[in-house]
Amino acid sequence: MSKLKITSEDLGKSDYDLRTPLHLAACNGHLNIVKFLVENVVGININCIDRWGGTPYDDSLREKQDEVSAYLKSVGGISG
């Protein structure tokens, strides 16, 4: 079985709606993944803006992911 090689660059890229893995993890309440991305991806922009002007912090607020919102705010997360 082969292993998947993921680089930091892959984890910071966005899709066609400018949404990143951090946006997706935040809106779905995956605190462990949010922490991993913030703490391990070199140069990650925690306040990246998607097509609709939202940040991962905005997503966590909208979806009522309180633990994720609190964490993102504690590391400098802001609204878009």
**pLDDT tens digit string along 24-68?**
999 999 999 999 999 988 889 999 999 999 999 999 999 999 999
pLDDT of residue 5: 65
Alpha-carbon distance values, 58 to 1, 4, 8, 9 (Å): 39, 31, 23, 23
Query: So where are the chain's domains?
Result: 16-74
**pLDDT value at 2 more than 80:** no
Among 1.20.1250.20, 1.20.58.2240, 1.25.40.20, 1.20.120.1200, name the CATH number for the domain at 16-74. Answer: 1.25.40.20
